[in-house]
Amino acid sequence: MNNFLANKNNLDIILIVSLISVFLIVFILFAIYSVFKTESKTSEVSVTIQNQVSNLSYDENTYISHNADDENDVEVVYIETIPENETIYNDESIEDLKNVTGTSPYYIRVNYKANVVTVYKKDNDGFYTVPFKAMICSCGTATPKSGTYETSSKYRWLSLVGNVNGQYSTRIVNRILFHSVPYLKKTNDSLEYWEYDKLGTSASAGCIRLTVEDAKWIYDNCDSGTKVEFYSSDNPGPLGKPEAKKISSNEECRNWDPTDPHKENPWNK
């Protein structure tokens, strides 16, 4: 009887050790599979480039970068939050601008919360205290909430991830730009009209969407080095919040931005 119990205990131990061994083997195989799957997924969404990238653009989920000399040479990267700059003027009061000066004719403030852009020009003392122009816009999840930056590169048409494009783009910082509402093609008659109707609400991944008229105004009038300040307030600004036409219901014209100065724009007829 004792031998029988001893043998049974030995079998129990062997069974337990076997089960533990099987569990460990399955766990190790699963860990190896998870690592391989992650690496494979990363390789599927990334295209390695060999040359220096110069301009960047976005859609709602990812950014794409284009080489200056080869539009087919691209890299897909994920959205990153833009770090806040140390120079901050967060109060919407014009009083805060009495100490702000610079070499550019204009100073731009982006109200992230209200989705309004206000352009200021200099007073007689050379400070940016004169409200000049207000623009309705759409900010987004990666739009800076505060900080002051300077504009740099400009692009007449800019390719965006998702086979869409933007007119009159002006870079603010890293991947954040002013530009028009996206187009399906690099043609003025392929506007994403459903996105145009979102102007005045948060709708982008991070760039500042504008009407063509406003994007073109910044493109034409604000030289590289123009300061752009981000802040957040319920108060839209000293000139208020402009309105944008809702266009989705007009099937004849809705593929065009109503503010586009192009001579073939059906809205002008």
3-state helix, strand, coil in the chain (%, to 5): 25, 30, 45
* Active-site residue, 139 included: no
Q: Which helix (H) or strand (E) holds 157?
A: strand 154-160
| Annotated catalytic residue within 137, 207, 222, 253 | 207
Instruction: Give the span between the Cα atoms of 137 and 180, in whole angstroms.
Output: 9
Closest CA to 222 of 97, 106, 134: 106
Give dist(CA 228, CA 112) in Å, integer: 12
Return d(Cα 243, Cα 245) in angstroms, integer.
Answer: 7
> In this structure, how many other beta carbons lie within 10 angstroms of the beta carbon of residue 24?
10
Give me the catalytic one of 66, 137, 139, 179.
Answer: 179
Distance, in Å, from the CA atom of 63 to the CA atom of 59, rounded to the nearest integer, reads 6
Specify whether 207 is catalytic.
yes
Active site residues: 179, 207
